[in-house]
Amino acid sequence: MTIHVLALYSTSQDPLLMAPILECLARDARFRFTIISTENSARMMKGFPREAIAYAPEFSAAPTAPPQCTVVVDPAMRYADWYKAEAEALATEAEAAVIKAGGWLANLSPDIIVGRVSPTPPIREIVLAARMLGIPTVNAEHGVSSLVRNDLDDGQSLRFHGKWAESLLFDYFGCWGEAICDVMVDHGWHRDRLFVHGCPDFDQIAEYRSGPFRKKSRSHFGIGDDVRVVALPGRPLLYTAREFPAVCLGSSKEVALWYEMLFSAISEFPDSILLVKNHPLLAGESEEALQRELVPPGVRIRWVNVEEDIWRFISAADLVVGHPGSTTDFHALALGRPLISLMLPDQTQRYMVIEEALSPCARDREGLLCHLLSPDAPPTGPLKKFLSSYIGPLDGRATERLVERLAEIVEERRSRNSLTASD
């Protein structure tokens, strides 16, 4: 029997993130899939040979059958008061969601819903309606916030920002590595709702590490082999300063100071190019405008398209400077690039890449200059262990494991429904 998968897109970055999964589904005769977009589908589907259906529940009739179940929230092992209040609000939200989106969803008749998404309001409606209708939901979003030790909590646990809310929202969560799985269990998930599959983005890592790929990447950006390239991947500092001031930069003023430190140090290297790729999340906001305003004369800097392939971007670089805690840390480390973590003097967060000696930390212009003068590649032994823990085995099979788990979940659900019907 064919398994119908509903694939969720909510941002312009999602088609890129979901592409390996959809390509794997397309190769597997057991599956067919429908793509749902809660944003401008034409823009989001650029370059992908499938069309997306716009989320439009207002054009669907209400479901003819009552919901099959209610949203049941697992008891929290920690943060019990927060979970209780959030769960009560979620139950009310789920009832409204199934009234709004239930008919639209029932017309599509998916067997399972999967995404690599953040729980924006349209996504929440779809997922909650699905759970009320008994359709299993899976999120495989990265959860990279687990790289940040939360000194505001107990100094030892790993903070998991929005994953608390997601733990209530989705039936299942696909973790990249065992370390992320352990963090989510620590924050209230039941382990049987988690599975570890690795990261689909890294399935072609052998190609990305190759000399020909690096040569093509440099050529793509018009950079010669004799030019030193410092990459600045795009963690959205203005966004995190606004949304998470307690665990990141606390103000726009601090963001400006961070860039001033970087640009001032880079100005000491006239033979180098600073390659900047901002985060798609801030494509329409002012981060690049702030950067351009702060760049001193004489600095060779090039901004690349926010939707540029991250692997090509990192491969073209000789070393990477970043604000720690971004997924781009993984990309830089996986390609063996020296990674320099730039933090402000007053920041107290503790980052795993720094604590495990995979990246030196610079807290002022002089410290950054020192590391830029003599960057060190991450040590092989600790690096291999770290990557294995956080993004799983780099064996090219992460996507296959995720897709196989989707099939297992559907079969398990069908078996339970069959037994219930026979009773």
Read off the pLDDT of residues 92-118 as tens digits, 9 standing for 90 and up.
888 888 888 988 998 999 999 999 887
This prediction has a pTM of 0.87
Rounded to the nearest integer, the mean pLDDT of the chain is: 83
Read off the amino acid at residue 416.
Answer: R
What is the per-residue pLDDT across 304-320, written as a single tens digit (0 to 9) for each?
Answer: 988 889 999 999 999 99
How far apart, in whole angstroms, are the C-alpha atoms of residue 278 and residue 232? Answer: 8
How far apart, in whole angstroms, are the C-alpha atoms of residue 212 and residue 40? Answer: 36
pLDDT at 21: 94
pLDDT at 10: 82
Structure tokens at 415: 């078996």
**Range 329-338 average pLDDT:** 94
pLDDT at 412: 92
DSSP assigned state of 171: S
What is the per-residue pLDDT across 20-72, written as a single tens digit (0 to 9) for each?
Answer: 999 999 999 999 999 998 876 555 555 555 678 888 887 665 555 556 666 66
The answer to whether the beta carbons of residues 60 and 107 sit under 8 Å apart is yes
- H or E segment to which residue 179 belongs: helix 178-186
- H or E segment to which residue 401 belongs: helix 398-422
Structure tokens at 195: 């599975």
